[in-house]
């Protein structure tokens, strides 16, 4: 009996040893841990991407800018005429231009004109630092990591040290100055802007009124000149200055400011508030200044910096091109300035409004494209305001519909709106047949859902509004011998066509998406068969044999594309992805269409490349996509902003979207890693990029080969991934996850919520380290 026990124990020990040896051998071929080793010294990395300003900025094209998704600021030098020589100029004035994104008019549309005249944005004003001497030089650093400006202004009579930021949390703009020499006595002077529209063509006399009616429609038969708003009222009380601007259409906005001394430093604290229909802005602005002034200076500075530090760390990317990497992170900073939950969605110019001809949000490309980078960048908070405003203004979107009887089941978003989204279908005759703005912005909201898997977005916003927007299209479709046609539809910036590709793509996308949402929410919608019928019978996309996808048809002929800066006729390629390279028979058509669009308008490369770049990446043409970025960046101004005349924000951001599409794509339920890397980018690293299905993805590429891919599930959604390895794919995780190859190069992973896995290939496991590329 004892012998038997001995033999049993020896046998057990032998088995344990064998298993241990096997495990030891296996571990040598597995990553040491499922947790990545993230070796990013963030302050040092962002220091490389800061902006050094060694010149004298003279306006928005080269000024540093700041913002908190409501308040914005810019700093530049405003030249003055010499007292003894009016023809000459000298620089003795530092200008602090301030803005607030939600300040706009509230006049009745039909009485005073479309949005640009009745509901236009208003410029706020400027603080000028009146210097004693003439500015000789500027040495500034725009520190992205702390979202602040530091530096020196040198004059012929001394110098001023400056520190400036727009507080991330509080409605406060902060400027610290320390004067040296005679500049110790320089003073701030407030100059309010006139509260008026920058759009020309106001019906100021009978001749202009006739032209106004002819251009914008007979609904303005009784149009009036928008009244002048009263001059702002200034007041000083308890050490706080205020300038209150009451508006003829109701409500008010107000600026409040106060200076506080810390030894030799003077801190200018500015707040801007806006209220409608109540006239409470002044009291709110004063309270903001008072509360901020009571707080410890270091505490306020730290709260501001901490917000930005957390914001940057949401994802990381390092690019093997110093110029592009610097541009990328400057644009990530720009996004953080412009949008976040509870504040505003981004209008055409973003925060930094100067009185000009685009005093509104433009919803036929600008509103959509400015948000394309936020989803992959894992900054979903920046995409929430668009969802919030659409939800809040649902009844307004219904009221925009005409004829009135269609409001029972339809909704409509006009091309030009203020943040309140008021804009009836006939408020501008030029665009009375532009029906696609609402479904297009809803495609962004659909992405907000897909990247978060938050079903409340579908239930409360996307489903009800997309259903109504498709109902509007349904009322316009005509059955011709069993085929459904749209007789007339406006394709943005081109004209009105039958079966415009812009509309056909949005109709098809709306039907597909509604059918999918119907399944997700188990809604059993009685309209589902109708949506399927539209898909089955809708006219095919008009195609030009020579140039690919066209604008549409006129008099039975396929039209265009010709000289065109808008890719509205190519939405089926990007961002809707209704036609993709998965259908090899379509590749030639896709490449022909994108290539022709890219060469349409050489005058506006930034506007064209910002859409052509992501499309090239969608076609998995990395070298082509890189060329688009390299064409884009030189067209931007030194500030990183773009346009010949005024700010057009989405064009600046196009290269960010392109970089992301080169590194990670997730559509058709498959996550694609490094799908469009250019030949010259042998190394590339990204960490916590986000994919559809709420997955966080990290990957490193070295010497032209992917080393590893880490994927983490945040929602437990089905996971299909194409890691792009050239040989067998191996998986390591804390649970028994085995990759199942469901098609060539595409693997299915059964990840539960919170689980993650590392994918790799080869005989030796890589070190799973995320760190900046040395360039």
Cβ neighbors of 26 (< 8 A, separation 6 or more) are: none
According to the model, what pLDDT value does residue 13 have? 40
Say how far apart CA 649 and CA 350 lie, in whole Å.
6
Closest CA to 663 of 686, 679, 680: 686
Cβ neighbors of 23 (< 8 A, separation 6 or more) are: none
Cβ neighbors of 63 (< 8 A, separation 6 or more) are: 57, 74, 75, 76, 97, 639
Could you tell me the end-to-end alpha-carbon distance of the chain, in angstroms, rounded to an integer? 72
Say how far apart CA 453 and CA 70 lie, in whole Å.
27
Give the global pTM: 0.94
Angle between helices 649-663 and 322-338 (to 10 degrees): 120
Collapsing DSSP to helix, strand or coil, 748 comes out as strand
206-251 tens-digit pLDDT: 999 999 999 999 999 999 999 999 999 999 988 999 999 999 999 9
Say how far apart CA 144 and CA 436 lie, in whole Å.
37
Angle between helices 463-476 and 528-537 (to 10 degrees): 50
According to the model, what pLDDT value does residue 255 have? 98
74-129 tens-digit pLDDT: 999 988 766 666 666 779 999 999 999 999 999 999 999 999 999 999 999 999 99
According to the model, what pLDDT value does residue 23 have? 32
Question: Is residue 46 very low, low, confident or very high in pLDDT (cuts 50, 70, 90)?
Answer: very high
According to the model, what pLDDT value does residue 21 have? 33
Range in 155-169, 180-194, 245-259, 605-619 with the lowest mean pLDDT: 605-619
Pairwise pLDDT comparison (604 vs 198), residue with the higher score: 198
593-624 tens-digit pLDDT: 999 888 766 656 788 888 999 999 999 999 99
According to the model, what pLDDT value does residue 603 have? 59
Please, which contacts does 324-330 make with residues 24 or more away whose CB atoms are closer than 8 Å?
324/629, 324/630, 324/633, 324/655, 324/659, 325/49, 325/775, 326/48, 326/49, 327/633, 327/636, 327/640, 327/655, 328/655, 328/656, 328/659, 329/46, 329/49, 329/144, 330/49, 330/51, 330/144, 330/640
According to the model, what pLDDT value does residue 29 have? 47
Cα-Cα-Cα-Cα torsion 410, 413, 417, 418, nearest 10 degrees, comes to: 60
Pairwise pLDDT comparison (356 vs 73), residue with the higher score: 73
Q: Is pLDDT at 1 greater than 50 in this prediction?
A: no
Closest CA to 442 of 486, 390, 395, 402: 390
Say how far apart CA 63 and CA 142 lie, in whole Å.
10
525-563 tens-digit pLDDT: 999 999 999 999 999 999 998 999 999 999 999 998 876
730-764 tens-digit pLDDT: 888 777 778 888 999 999 999 999 999 999 998 88
Question: Is residue 727 very low, low, confident or very high in pLDDT (cuts 50, 70, 90)?
Answer: confident
363-411 tens-digit pLDDT: 999 999 999 999 999 999 999 999 999 999 999 999 999 999 999 999 9
Say how far apart CA 382 and CA 342 lie, in whole Å.
10
- CB 277 within 8 Å of CB 251: yes
The token pair at 264 is: 């030799």
Q: Is pLDDT at 575 greater than 70 in this prediction?
A: yes
According to the model, what pLDDT value does residue 86 have? 63
Q: Is pLDDT at 7 greater than 90 in this prediction?
A: no
């Amino acid at each position: 009996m004892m012998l038997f026990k001995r033999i049993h124990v020896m046998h057990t020990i032998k088995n344990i040893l064998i298993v241990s040896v096997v495990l030891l051998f296996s571990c040598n071929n597995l990553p040491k841990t499922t947790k990545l080793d993230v070796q990013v010294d963030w302050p040092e990395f962002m220091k490389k991407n800061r902006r050094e300003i060694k010149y004298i900025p003279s306006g928005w094209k080269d000024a540093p800018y700041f913002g908190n998704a409501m308040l914005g600021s810019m700093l530049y030098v405003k030249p003055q005429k010499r007292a003894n020589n009016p023809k000459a100029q000298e620089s003795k004035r530092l200008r602090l231009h301030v803005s607030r994104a939600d300040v706009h008019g509230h006049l009745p549309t039909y009485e005073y004109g479309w949005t640009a005249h009745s509901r236009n944005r208003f410029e706020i004003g400027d603080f000028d630092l009146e210097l004693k001497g003439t500015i000789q030089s500027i040495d500034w650093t725009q520190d992205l990591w702390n979202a602040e400006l530091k530096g020196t202004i040198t004059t012929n009579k001394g110098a001023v040290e400056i520190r400036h930021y727009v507080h991330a949390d509080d409605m406060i703009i902060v400027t610290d100055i320390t004067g040296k020499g005679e500049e110790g006595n320089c003073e701030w002077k407030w100059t309010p802007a006139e509260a008026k529209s920058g759009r020309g063509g106001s019906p100021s006399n009978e001749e202009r009124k006739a032209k106004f009616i002819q251009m914008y429609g007979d609904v303005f038969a009784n149009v009036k000149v928008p009244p002048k708003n009263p001059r702002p009222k200034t007041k000083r009380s308890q050490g706080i200055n205020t300038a209150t601007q009451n508006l003829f259409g109701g409500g008010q906005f107000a600026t409040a400011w106060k200076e506080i001394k810390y030894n030799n430093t003077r801190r200018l604290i500015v707040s801007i508030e806006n209220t409608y229909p109540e006239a409470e802005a002044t009291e709110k602005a004063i309270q903001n200044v008072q509360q901020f002034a009571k707080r410890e200076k270091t505490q306020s500075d730290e709260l501001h910096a901490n917000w930005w530090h957390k914001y940057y760390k949401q994802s990381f990317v390092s690019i093997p091109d110093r110029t592009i990497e610097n541009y990328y992170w400057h644009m990530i900073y720009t996004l953080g300035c412009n949008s976040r939950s509870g504040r505003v969605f981004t209008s055409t110019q973003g925060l930094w409004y100067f009185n000009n001809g685009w005093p509104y949000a433009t919803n036929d490309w600008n509103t959509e494209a400015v948000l394309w980078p936020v989803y992959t960048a894992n900054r979903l908070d920046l995409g929430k305001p668009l969802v919030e405003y659409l939800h809040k203004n649902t009844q307004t979107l219904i009221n925009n519909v005409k004829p009135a009887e269609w409001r029972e089941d339809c909704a409509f978003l006009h091309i030009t709106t203020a943040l309140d989204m008021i804009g009836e279908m006939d408020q501008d005759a030029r665009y009375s047949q532009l029906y696609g703005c609402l479904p297009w912005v809803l495609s962004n909201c659909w992405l907000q859902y897909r990247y978060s898997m938050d079903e409340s977005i579908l239930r409360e916003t996307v489903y009800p509004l997309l259903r109504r927007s498709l109902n509007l299209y349904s009322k316009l479709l005509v059955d011709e011998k069993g085929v459904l046609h749209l007789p007339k539809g406006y394709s943005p910036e081109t004209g009105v066509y039958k079966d415009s590709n812009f509309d056909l793509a949005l109709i098809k996308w709306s039907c597909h998406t509604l059918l999918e949402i119907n399944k997700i929410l188990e809604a059993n919608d009685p309209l589902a068969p109708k949506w399927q019928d539209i898909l089955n019978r809708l006219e095919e996309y008009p195609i030009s044999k020579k140039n690919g996808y066209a604008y549409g048809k006129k008099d039975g002929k396929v039209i265009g594309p010709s000289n065109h800066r808008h890719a509205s006729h190519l939405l089926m390629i990007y961002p809707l992805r209704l036609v993709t390279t998965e259908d090899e028979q379509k590749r030639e058509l896709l490449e022909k269409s994108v290539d022709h669009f890219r060469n349409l308008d050489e005058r506006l490369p930034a506007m064209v490349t910002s859409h052509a770049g992501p499309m090239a990446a969608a076609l998995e043409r990395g070298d082509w996509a890189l060329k688009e970025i390299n064409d884009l960046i030189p067209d931007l101004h030194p500030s990183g902003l773009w346009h010949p005349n005024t700010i057009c924000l989405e064009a600046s951001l196009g290269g960010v979207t392109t970089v992301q599409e080169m590194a990670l794509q997730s559509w058709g339920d498959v996550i694609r890693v490094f799908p469009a890397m250019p030949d010259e980018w042998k190394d590339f690293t990204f960490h916590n990029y986000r994919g559809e299905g709420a997955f966080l993805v990290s990957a490193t590429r070295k010497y032209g080969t992917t080393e590893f891919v880490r994927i983490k599930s945040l929602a437990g959604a089905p996971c299909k991934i194409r890691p792009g390895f050239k040989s067998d794919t191996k998986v390591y995780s804390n649970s028994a996850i085995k990759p199942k190859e469901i098609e060539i190069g595409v693997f299915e992973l059964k990840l539960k919520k919170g689980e993650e896995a590392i994918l790799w290939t080869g005989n030796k496991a890589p070190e799973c380290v995320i760190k900046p590329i040395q360039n």
